[in-house]
């Protein structure tokens, strides 16, 4: 059986979809599963063993009729038997109808007119479970598995080398990520926690836990944020993983990660690293599993800046 899944969104959205892909593969071990994702999210599949091919397509772009036509041709050429769609746009539903794929699964909504097997969209649950509901359209009714990530041996070796370089191989460490994607900032999505608050948290931690190494994650879009921290906070260590696999490996080795709602948060859940995550307007229950290991701190006002450093410190030191 040949299956294609259309998964718009960033790296975090792809990671949240992994349990669905894994259960699909377990139900149909001989199936070939491809995914169509935005170019910015393609790297997520370095740590997913269930997918055969990753096809890039920018769902968020102002695509022309020719762009959609090219994608239609790519899908038709592969002669898929099943399609799963996470989006609800009518244009995507129409695209799938035009492909002639016999079984088309997606959520009830604007595009469901073109689907053969629509399923209810239940947004008030952890996102992995919401995505997993799509499998009901294939009569797969098993419970959603925990989010897990497949770490490559070469990524684990890279993380071990980083720990030696940073001189934290024996001591353990707190990992911090406070950046946010340029796309989120451009859309005005409130995921940025003020630098002055980060500085206060780190300085207080260094006073109360002077022997605890603090490592800052610097992604491709985090240079300005890290530079601001380094100007006022001493003895910080910085690591810059080159891809999602290395990022997951360095998170897996940490004692705790403190972060905002971001891809590193989902990776931390996948590698079972204790997590404290900061949320502004978003409901943590939709993005964190129900476990004492993963703590969401939601702003009392819905604004990230209104989460007090004292509240964050209390969670860190109390845990």
159 and 132 inside one domain: no
134 and 157 inside one domain: no
CB 269 within 8 A of CB 294: yes
pLDDT exceeds cutoff 80 at 185: no
**Whole-number pLDDT of residue 252:** 97
**Whole-number pLDDT of residue 36:** 97
130 and 158 inside one domain: no
Q: List residues bridging with 296 in a β-sheet.
A: 277
**Whole-number pLDDT of residue 125:** 95
pLDDT exceeds cutoff 80 at 181: no
Structure token digits, residue 212: 């605890």
Q: How many CB atoms lie within 10 A of CB 248?
A: 29
Q: What is the extent of the structural domain holding 122?
A: 2-138
Summarize pLDDT for 251-294 with one digit per residue, the tens.
999 999 999 999 999 999 999 999 999 999 999 999 999 999 99
181 and 299 inside one domain: yes
180 and 309 inside one domain: yes
204 and 295 inside one domain: yes
Q: Distance between CA atoms of 80 and 63, rounded to whole angstroms?
A: 23
pLDDT exceeds cutoff 80 at 110: no
224 and 89 inside one domain: no
166 and 250 inside one domain: yes
143 domain residue, yes or no: no
**Whole-number pLDDT of residue 71:** 94
Within its chain, how far is the Cα of 228 from the centroid? 25
Summarize pLDDT for 162-178 with one digit per residue, the tens.
999 999 988 899 999 98
Summarize pLDDT for 9-47 with one digit per residue, the tens.
999 999 999 999 999 999 999 999 999 999 999 999 999
By percentage, how much of the chain surpasses pLDDT 70? 96
For the chain, what is the domain count?
2
Q: Distance between CA atoms of 319 and 313, rounded to whole angstroms?
A: 10
83 and 12 inside one domain: yes
pLDDT exceeds cutoff 60 at 186: no
Q: Distance between CA atoms of 259 and 172, rounded to whole angstroms?
A: 17
**Whole-number pLDDT of residue 111:** 73
Query: Of 86, 108, 138, which residue constitutes the final position of a domain?
Result: 138
pLDDT exceeds cutoff 60 at 319: no
What CATH number does the domain containing 86 carry? 3.40.50.2000
**Whole-number pLDDT of residue 91:** 85
296 and 178 inside one domain: yes
At which residue do the structure tokens 């947004």 appear? 123
The region of weakest confidence among 82-91, 196-205, 294-303 is 82-91
> Which residues neighbour 76 within 8 Å (Cβ) at sequence distance 6 or greater?
99, 100
Structure token digits, residue 286: 């939709």
Higher pLDDT, 221 or 276: 276
In three-state secondary structure terms, 175 is: strand
Interval 127-153 mean pLDDT: 95
Summarize pLDDT for 223-262 with one digit per residue, the tens.
888 998 998 888 899 999 999 999 999 999 999 999 999 9
97 and 157 inside one domain: no
306 and 178 inside one domain: yes
Q: Distance between CA atoms of 100 and 51, rounded to whole angstroms?
A: 22
Q: Distance between CA atoms of 88 and 108, rounded to whole angstroms?
A: 8
């Amino acid at each position: 059986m040949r299956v294609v899944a259309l998964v718009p969104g960033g790296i975090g959205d792809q990671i949240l979809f992994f349990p669905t892909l894994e259960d699909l593969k377990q139900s149909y071990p001989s199936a070939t599963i491809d995914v169509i994702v935005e170019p910015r999210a393609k790297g997520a599949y370095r740590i997913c063993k269930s997918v055969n091919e990753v096809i890039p397509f920018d769902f968020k772009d102002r695509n022309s009729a020719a762009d959609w036509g090219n994608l239609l041709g790519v899908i038709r050429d592969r002669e898929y038997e099943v399609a799963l769609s996470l989006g609800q746009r009518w244009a995507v539903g129409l695209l799938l109808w035009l492909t002639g794929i016999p079984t088309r699964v997606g959520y009830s909504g604007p595009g469901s007119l073109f689907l053969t097997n629509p399923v209810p969209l239940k947004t008030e649950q952890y996102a992995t479970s919401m995505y997993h509901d799509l499998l009901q359209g294939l009569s797969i009714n098993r419970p959603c598995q925990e989010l897990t990530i497949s770490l490559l041996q070469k990524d684990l070796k890279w993380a071990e080398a980083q720990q030696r370089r940073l001189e934290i191989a024996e001591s353990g460490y707190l990992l911090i990520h406070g950046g946010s994607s340029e796309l989120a900032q451009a859309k005005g999505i409130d995921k940025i926690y003020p630098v002055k608050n980060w500085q206060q948290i780190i300085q207080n931690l260094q006073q109360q836990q002077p022997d605890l190494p603090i490592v800052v994650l610097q992604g491709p879009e985090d240079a300005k944020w890290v530079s601001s921290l380094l100007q006022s906070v001493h003895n910080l260590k910085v690591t810059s993983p080159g891809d999602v696999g290395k990022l997951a490996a360095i998170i897996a080795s940490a004692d705790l990660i403190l972060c905002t709602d971001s891809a590193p948060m989902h990776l931390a859940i996948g590698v079972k690293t204790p997590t404290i995550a900061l949320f502004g307007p978003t409901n943590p229950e939709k993005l964190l599993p129900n476990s004492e290991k993963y703590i969401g701190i939601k702003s009392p006002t819905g604004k990230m800046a209104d989460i007090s450093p004292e509240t964050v410190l209390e969670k860190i030191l109390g845990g």
